[in-house]
Amino acid sequence: MELFDSIILILDATLRNATPLIFAALAGMFSERSGIVNIALEGKILISAFAGASAAYYTGSPWMGLLAGIMASVVFAQLHAFATVTHNGDHVVSGLAINILAAGLTAAVGNYWFSQGGNTPNLVSRAEELNARFEPIVFPFADALADVPIIGGIYSELLSGHYILVYLAFLAVPLCWFVLFRTRFGLRLRATGENPQAVDTAGISVTQVRYLALLVCGVLAGFAGVYLAVALTAQFSPNMSAGKGYMALAALIFGKWRPKTTMLACLLFGALQAIADRSQGAIILGFEVPVQLVEALPYILTVVLLGGFIGRAVAPKAIGKPYVKERA
Amino acid sequence: MTAQTHSAAEYALELRGIDKHFGAVHANKNIDLKVEKGTIHGIVGENGAGKSTLMSIIYGFYEADQGDIAIDGKVLKIRDSKTAIASGIGMVHQHFMLIQNFTALENVVLGAESGELIDDSLDKARTELNRLSDEFGLSVPLDQPVEELSVGFQQRIEILKALYRGARILILDEPTGVLTPQETEHLFKVLDSLKAQGTTVILITHKLREILAATDNVSVMRRGEMVAHVKTAETNQEELAELMVGRKVLLQVDKGDSAPGDVKLSVRNLSMTDSAGVKRLDNVSLDVRAGEIVGIAGVSGNGQSELLETLAGITPVDSGTIDLNGHTLDAQHPMNPSQVRKAGIGHIPEDRHRMGLINTFSAYEAFVLGYHRNHEYNGALQMKQGAIIEDCKEKMERWDVRPQDPYLKTANFSGGNQQKLVIAREIEQNPDVLLIGQPTRGVDIGAIESIHKRILEMRDAGKAILLVSVELDEIRSLSDRILVMFDGTIVGEVPADKADERTLGLMMANIVPDEIKALQAEEPA
Amino acid sequence: MSQHRIPAWITVGVIPLANVAMAALAAALVFWYLNINPLDALQAMVYGAFGSSYGWGYTLYYMTSYIFTGLAVAVVFQAGMFNIGGEGQAYIGALGVGLVCLGLGGHVPFIVLLPISIIAAFVFGGLWALIPAWLQAKRGSHIVITTIMFNFIAASLMNYLLINFMKPAGTMSVESAVFDPSSWIPKMHEALALIGISIDRSPLNLSMFWALFVAFAVWFFLWRTRWGYEVRAMGSNASGAQYGGISIPGTVIMIMIIGGGLAGFMALNVVQGEAHQIKLNLVNQMGFTGIAVALMGRNHPFGIVIASLLFGFLTQGGSELQFEYSVDARIVVVLQGLVILFSGALQNMMKHPIERLYLRVTSNRRKASEELAAEA
């Protein structure tokens, strides 16, 4: 029973860890499928976490936090589009600029606003009678069933009691699939990532498609950031994204730019993180695996995949290339 | 020019004073054009005459600096392709505008969806496409990714795309470059049936024969200007050629008889499969002797490029043997391009921008590409820059490369001078064998003559020359023997004096006329 | 097409300056929002960075690191690729330097140890770049992504090694033992004191000269040797290079090893010259900043030295701001981000208008002189 409990705990943590990765990886999917390399997920997560926590603190409402977080992330995403689409800037450099700018601005402005070394105040404070954090959603009868063996563990522990954003993340996966593969917008977006010139000659504005793609990217990345600051922890602290944007990018590549497989990659990476967090090392088949190896595994796996040793990840063909009308 | 008595509305398309600059290049100069409704109108001109630019302006891909475009007598501002499509203009680009991993159906629907969700659009398009393909003989597999389909099918998808969008004016930019004569013939039938239904067709090509075979009227462009409009029935190939280049062209170069010596390049049973698994060369055998030019004719994309690149050591050999000037090159004995050069082989690549030159390099750096490791250009660590620049100056003078500035970036030379730079580099190394691809592509007429002369001088100096070109005239005027390639194989050999256009054309479509068969039976290769 | 009519002083002078000016303008807005007079801030930064031998010492110390990480990006960029792995390569380079100093320090004279630690920095950094290079050359994996992944892998690896092997028993913080003082690269203030010049104590050490020499060596390599010729040929036109008999996989692997090695040199400055021990997270984003340095320096070694000085100024001057205005020290990061944004991501924003303006002015002038000539 102890093993079962610890498995449930790890799976429970897996869902929590995977949530920001799923939002961010889906965000990256819209961007990369439209042809824009997105190493800027990190910065978008960070800025939305900061804006989300600040707004939630000032308004006392996590939902206002969500709104503000999404708006901040969208502004950065549109800046990304302005650089890469309007001015044909290098995608990697633009992404880097956004990440560095977000890291600096959140800390400097945060310190100016709250004078707490870049942190926001805690969103749950009895003294200020403040509770601006998302509340966990408890499923019906979860409490009653908690003590029932197996079912209690799965239903009450694992499935029930997460923040609403966790459930939204998993709903976002089929939704994004539908948008990408069953709508006009998705068709055009995927085409733009493959051959923007063909899209242009079909009478569609490449600029418009890419701006829209980054708009959606901004919204989704906003969810990821707000989840970190307003749900998972009740506070923003500088650099709290801690590489999640890059890990989401790795998951997107590991999932071969497809929604379902990307979600599975996020779950895998989330589980590895959960294992690493739980122990100083994992014992696998009698060998002690250092916790650092478990932590690094998502990146190692992605490199191995990119090396073509486990399947082949084929990126959208026009990714990373600014679209410039060439002289005939 | 014939007197125009039509009223404006009889013209499907009318251009007035179209002008377009790209930076310093004046691509279109004050262009006027009238295209009668329901006709096939040809536009001919040399490469770089400005035809594609003009069509891209009509299609809204570029915006003209000045001038008006009228469709059915109404002046329209065409700012983007969307407006052009809405005005009933469809275009089949030279390089197909298809999403390779989409199906034909998805490609057709893209940009012409009927609603927010695509399932309805796809169903609707399927019905409509079935009707269109029946009507015009344009059947294609609708549900296969485009990348798995042949070039011919891909072109049909492009035409279907335009028709599905209700095109009343269909522009085809160099549509036959990648087609066999038979596919070309089928295409022209399609165009005729479109014309019969009232569609106006604009056919852009630099091939005079096609203009005469397919069009009603023809306009000629030269260096960005529209120089003549004539009725096809009232003109002929010679007149059009003269209009295109601006003066009488000598289609035949004066050359003496060849005096072939020893075999310098020998290929036996060469095969090559590319990374996508397509067989590009299939059992190719040929010999080139010292002092002769062997021409390879064929529709582009039938393995000529792959043959040249394999011989040059760029693409590895799968099976078969190559004897390069006494050195063996096969799967067991691979050679890289620098080893091939050391064996006495010079290579003038087909596309100087893709291969022959590094655009950001200065002329003197470009002059040693491929020879940059040679002893005479290198010290222990440092390259001998002074010597390289001196060497470059000398060669620029000898070859009349202009401007004679060793420091100028190669990108800033004109096409002809860039090509001279490449040819000079390869010939000055005094190779025994020369592999030459498309020596005069994108080069102006004056430079063509001088390049042709140099190639013949090399022959007379006893070099073995393999010449690949898609310009039949070039092949016919330079070669001593002509081999024709089709689908990676050599279809047959024609002596230069028997190589008329009809014979070569048939062979390019894999049909060997009896008299050529008889010739080959007499003297086995 | 019109590029050749734009003179060099516009391309390498006016446009970069206009970009920096835009970044400065945006920075001024940020300062203004933070209730700091931008001009006062600038003055404080200039004073902090250049107002004393202490400030100069820090500025040049940072410059030294940026030269190495900037060159690490630039050489690879000359080959047409993006090395985002400077962060990890420098970290692993530090491992090499640390192992040499811990193993040999006190046992061999400095003059013997130094060449070995230089080689170790290069080899360790270079080898860390080798796997992404090999994957790019032989398996076509995109080097941008693999080098990012390798930064994280390096962080985990170093974490593991520090905790399990390098941390002296009984200490709490995650760092190696302090090296034997005989293995330290002398500080500038110590060296100058020997010849009677007295300057303030600062982390600046003699590895600055190595950085300047390496910048020159990189220039020589790229523009004067056949290997550099091949690198630039490949960077500009890979199929052209292949046609010229240049091995693409070989060149990719060679230049990535050099790039990784150059990043590894950063450890000479930071570890052997200043910290004298391997600390957690010692690279501290300087690998990433190297990308900005390379961009600003237009991937040319001499440009990189100048850009490194600018970034050294930003880093040192910016950190002075926190004492003057109690602003968060990470204001420096904002300044760096703005420079990357305007000099890198948005570099065309100023480029096209300036070029167009120049062409218009010159064509007007030409027309005017032609008219004059016609009248005469």
State ipTM. Answer: 0.90
pLDDT given for residue A327 in this prediction: 47
**DSSP H or E run through A224:** helix A206-226
Q: Can you tell me the mean pLDDT for A68-95?
A: 95
pLDDT, tens digit (0-9, with 9 covering 90-100), for B499-511: 877 788 778 777 7
- List the single residue in A with minimal CA-CA distance to B102: A191
Strand-strand pairing, B89-92 and B169-173? parallel
Residue pairs between chains B and C whose CB atoms are closer than 8 Å: 79
With CB atoms and an 8 Å threshold, state whether A188 touches B62: no
pLDDT of residue A285: 59
Task: Inform me whether the C-beta atom of residue C11 falls under 8 Å from chain B C-beta atoms.
Answer: no
Residue B26 at interface with chain A, using a CB cutoff of 8 Å: no
End-to-end CA distance of chain A: 71
Main-chain dihedrals φ then ψ at residue B388, nearest 5 degrees: -65, -40
pLDDT at B206 over 80: no
Q: Rounded to whole angstroms, how far apart are CA atoms C73 and C84?
A: 7
User: Looking at beta carbons, which residues of chain A come within 8 Å of C340?
Assistant: 93, 96-97, 100-101
CB-CB under 8 Å, B354 with C240: yes
Cβ neighbours of C237 in B, within 8 Å: 354-355, 357-359
pLDDT confidence band for A328 (50 / 70 / 90): very low
CB < 8 Å to B92, chain A: none
Best CA proximity match to B314, nearest among B287, B274, B277, B367: B274
- Band (B465; pLDDT cuts 50, 70, 90): very high
Out of B314, B359, B383, the one facing C237 most closely (by C-beta) is B359
Burial C249-282 (b: 16+ CB within 10 A, else e): eebbbbbbbbbbbbbbbbbbbbbbbbbbbbbeeb
Q: Does the beta-carbon distance from C337 to A303 stay under 8 Å?
A: no
b/e sequence B157-179, b meaning 16+ C-beta within 10 Å:
bbbbbbbbbebbbbbbbbbbbbb
Alpha-carbon distance A150 to nearest alpha carbon in chain C (angstroms): 36
For A189, name the nearest residue in chain B, comparing CA atoms only: B110
Higher pLDDT, A128 or B32: B32
How much is the pLDDT for B3?
42
Cα radius of gyration rounded to whole Å, chain C: 23
pLDDT of B49 strictly over 90: no
pLDDT tens string C269-315? 999 999 999 999 999 889 989 998 998 888 999 999 999 999 999 99
Residue to test with chain B: of C5, C225, C226, most B Cβ within 10 A? C226
Cis amide leading into B403 (omega within 30): yes
The rounded distance, in Å, linking the Cα atoms of B413 and B399 is: 14
For tokens 């060497």, the residue is B391
Please name each of the domains of chain C with its CATH number.
61-316 (1.10.3470)
pLDDT (average), residues B275-286: 85
Cβ contact, residue pair C225, B347, below 8 Å: no
Q: Which residues of A touch C30 (CB under 8 A)?
A: 105, 108
One DSSP character per residue, A259-302 reads: HHHHHHHHHHHHHHHHHHHH-SEEEETTEEEEHHHHHHHHHHHH
Average the pLDDT over A6-21 and give the result. Answer: 91
- Give the one of B337, B361, B382 whose C-beta lies nearest to C243's C-beta: B337
Lowest mean pLDDT among A145-154, B415-424, C223-232: A145-154
Mark out chain B residues that contact chain C at CB-CB < 8 A: 22-25, 312-314, 336-341, 347, 349, 354-361, 365, 369-370, 372-373, 377-378, 381-383, 385, 409, 411-412
Cβ distance of A87 and C148 shorter than 8 Å: no
CA distance A313 to chain B (A): 15
Between the alpha carbon of residue C22 and those of residues A91, A149, C41, the distances in Å are 20, 65, 17
Q: What is the pLDDT of residue B448?
A: 81
Chain A residues near residue C88 by CB distance under 8 angstroms: none
SS3 category, B370: coil
Segment C313-329, tens digit of pLDDT: 999 998 888 888 888 88
pLDDT band at B292 (very low <50, low <70, confident <90, very high): very high
How confident is residue C37, by pLDDT bands cut at 50, 70 and 90? very high
Instruction: Tell me the per-residue pLDDT of B98-128, one tens digit each, with 9 for 90 and over.
Output: 999 999 999 999 999 989 999 999 999 999 9
* pLDDT per position as a tens digit, B331-366: 999 999 999 999 999 999 988 888 889 989 999 999
pLDDT of residue B4: 45
B109 touches chain A (CB under 8 A): yes
Q: Report which of C89, C91, C87 is spatially closest to residue C275, judged by C-alpha positions.
A: C91
CB contact under 8 A, A103 and C159: no
pTM of the model: 0.87
Task: Say if the Cβ atoms of C226 and B373 lie within 8 Å.
Answer: yes
Kindly report, residue by residue over B189-205, the tens digit of the pLDDT.
999 999 999 999 999 98
B221 inside 8 A of chain A by CB: no
Examine the pLDDT at A3 and tell me if it is beyond 90: no
Which of C219, C227, C230, C237 to mutate to test binding with chain B, by most B CBs within 10 Å of its CB?
C237
Distance of CA B57 to the CA centre of its chain: 22
Residue A141 has a CB neighbour count (10 Å cut-off) of 12
Helices (H), B343-431: 363-366, 385-398, 415-428
Report CB contact under 8 Å: C291, A93.
yes
Give per-residue pLDDT as tens, B264-275: 999 999 999 887
Q: Give tens-digit pLDDT for B367-377.
A: 999 999 988 89
User: B215 and chain A: CB distance < 8 Å anywhere?
Assistant: no
Q: How confident is the model at residue A284 (pLDDT cuts 50, 70, 90)?
A: low
Instruction: Please judge whether B118 and A182 are an interchain contact, meaning their C-beta atoms are less than 8 angstroms apart.
Output: yes
Residue A283, pLDDT > 70, answer no
pLDDT above 70 (res B249): no
Query: A94 vs chain C: nearest CA distance in angstroms?
Result: 5
Q: Cβ of C1 under 8 Å from any chain B Cβ?
A: yes
pLDDT at B475 over 80: yes
What's the rounded Cα separation, in Å, for the pair B203 and B210? 9
For residue C359, the chain B residue with the least C-alpha distance is B23
- Residue B160 zone, left/alpha/beta (φ > 0; ψ -120 to 50; rest): alpha
Q: Which residues of C touch B25 (CB under 8 A)?
A: 1
Three-state secondary structure readout of chain C = CHHHHCCHHHHHHHHHHHHHHHHHHHHHHHHHHCCCCHHHHHHHHHHHHHCCHHHHHHHHHHHHHHHHHHHHHHHHHHCCCCCCCHHHHHHHHHHHHHHHHHHHECCECHHHHHHHHHHHHHHHHHHHHHHHHHHHHHHCCCHHHHHHHHHHHHHHHHHHHHHHHHCCCCCCCCECCCCCHHHCCCEHHHHHHHCCCCCCCCCCECHHHHHHHHHHHHHHHHHHEHHHHHHHHHHHCHHHHHHCCCCHHHHHHHHHHHHHHHHHHHHHHHHHHHHCCCECCCCCCHHHHHHHHHHHCCCCHHHHHHHHHHHHHHHHHHHHHHHHHCCCCCHHHHHHHHHHHHHHHCHHHHHHHHHHHHHHHHHHHHHHHHHHHHHC
A89, A300, A308 ranked by CB distance to C139: nearest: A308
pLDDT band at A132 (very low <50, low <70, confident <90, very high): confident
Q: What 3-state DSSP class applies to B103?
A: strand
Split at pLDDT 50, 70, 90, the class of A143 is confident
Percent of chain B residues topping a pLDDT of 90: 51
Per-residue pLDDT, averaged over C225-238, amounts to 95
- Asked if pLDDT for residue C124 goes beyond 80, the answer is yes
Query: Within an 8 Å CB–CB cutoff, is residue A319 touching chain C?
Result: no
Q: What pLDDT is stored for residue A209 in this prediction?
A: 97
Q: Which residues of B touch A197 (CB under 8 A)?
A: 97
Tens of pLDDT, residues C142-182: 888 899 999 999 999 999 999 888 888 888 888 999 999 99
Do residues A38 and A217 touch, judged by C-beta distance below 8 A? yes
pLDDT of res. B95: 84
Q: Which residues contact A247 (CB under 8 A, 6 or more apart)?
A: A21, A269, A298, A299, C152
Q: Which of B415-429, C37-51, C354-368 has the lowest mean pLDDT?
A: C354-368
Q: What is the mean pLDDT of chain B?
A: 87
